[in-house]
Amino acid sequence: MKVVFKLAFRNLVGAGLRTWLNVIVLSFSFIAIIWSQGVYEGMSAQAAQSLKDAEYGGGQYWHEEYDPYNPLTLEKAHGALPAPLQRLIEERRAMAILIIQGTLYPQGRFLPVIIKGIDSGQNILLFPSKFLNNGGEDEIPALIGTRMARSTGLRVGDVVTLRFRDSQGAFDARNIRIVHIMSTTVQSIDQGQVWLPLSTLRSLAGMEQEATLVTLGKGTNFSERIPGWSYKSLDFLLQDIHELVRSKTVGSTIFYLILILLALLALFDTQVLSIFRRRKEIGTLMAMGMSRAKIIQLFTLEGALHSLLAALVAAVYGFPLLGIFARKGWAMPQAIDSYGFAIGERIFPIYSAGLILGTAILVMLVTTLVSFLPTRRIAKLKPTDALRGRIS
């Protein structure tokens, strides 16, 4: 095998431009795969981090009736805080959020909204709740996100009517003043939502000391079973986002599969041509006593070595390039907001060792297979035919 490796390497280097063209195309595939997968891994990690920072903290307890995908459950999804959770809140290791349904009347229109109450002094989430301290005596301070502001046309200082039902089912309405418009990548705390001070919302809805969910602080290690409440770990809460990123990854996978297919096609072509052009050489090798199996090994290895050289070439120009991307990030177009999950204005790709190693192994395996397939012809080749330049 050592001899075959030595010969394969000599042949490959000796083939000059033909080798380097294949190597460069293959190295593009390497980089494209690693880059695109890195972007999605970065996207996934960034989205997860943003959600943890702004919404999920270190996990949540949900009222047993609460289902975020079904607003009709909100009517019953609230209850008094159980003692263990109340204790965590007092220790500032968790915070309560109350959620009810309502209708907003911005500029003569009406818009169904989710009203959320949050403690303006909370330190659990990276959430600009402190602005909720800025309200006047007559109007209730309210906070909305940029997407909500865009869709309602509301600006800071605007006063708008908010209608809601209290715990008894009676309709009531109040004017709220927009005290801040927060810019956030997390759509699920923005679109269709109005944030009020928790104490105010509790009092308006007649739900004193009640909450819909409790968000734990990031360092809070607490997951005890509490009757009437269910613990939701971060794995559970982030499940959707990972699924979503995975589904987005399919698109990029198709893109890089096409790229790798092109590179492999070039390699396959090279191999077929190589066997055709070098049949006399194959005959000479046979005459010198090289067995067919060894010659097949030689040609397969020559093909497979393309991917090894490609990995080295990719390392030379690709790693610095990927490094720059990882440091400077990749600016996201505005339209990317419609992706449905938290993406910052710049994505910072993450290239894990597993991704790089996995890609290298995958490309090498496929390259070896593609290199081997055309060499099967050699097995049927007669030495005398090969020496005459014929191929059976």
Q: Applying CB under 8 A, which residues contact other proteins?
A: 3, 6-7, 10-11, 13-15, 280-281, 283-284, 286-293, 382-384, 387
- Our CB check for other proteins shows the closer of 16 and 227 to be 16
Nearest to 150 by CA among 198, 196, 197, 111: 111
Q: Is 340 helix (H, G, I), strand (E, B) or coil?
A: coil
In angstroms, the Cα distances linking 302 to 235, 258, 309, 316, 371 are 46, 23, 11, 21, 8
**The pair of three-digit structure tokens given for residue 22, joined into one six-digit string:** 């294949």
Closest approach, Cβ 350 to other proteins, in A, equals: 42
- Our CB check for other proteins shows the closer of 363 and 386 to be 386
Closest approach, Cβ 303 to other proteins, in A, equals: 15
- Cβ neighbours around 324 below 10 Å, total: 10
Closest approach, Cβ 374 to other proteins, in A, equals: 19
- Our CB check for other proteins shows the closer of 2 and 225 to be 2
199-204: long-range contacts, CB 8 A cutoff, minimum separation 24 = 199/117, 199/119, 200/117, 200/140, 201/98, 201/100, 201/115, 201/116, 201/117, 202/98, 202/117, 204/140, 204/164, 204/166, 204/172, 204/174
Q: Is 92 left (phi over 0), alpha (psi -120 to 50) or beta?
A: left
- Our CB check for other proteins shows the closer of 15 and 234 to be 15
Closest approach, Cβ 292 to other proteins, in A, equals: 6
Closest approach, Cβ 248 to other proteins, in A, equals: 46
Closest approach, Cβ 378 to other proteins, in A, equals: 11
- Our CB check for other proteins shows the closer of 13 and 265 to be 13
- Determine contact, residues 225/13, Cβ cutoff 8 Å: no
- Our CB check for other proteins shows the closer of 170 and 288 to be 288
Closest approach, Cβ 287 to other proteins, in A, equals: 5
Rounded-to-integer distance, Cα 202 and Cα 208, Å: 5
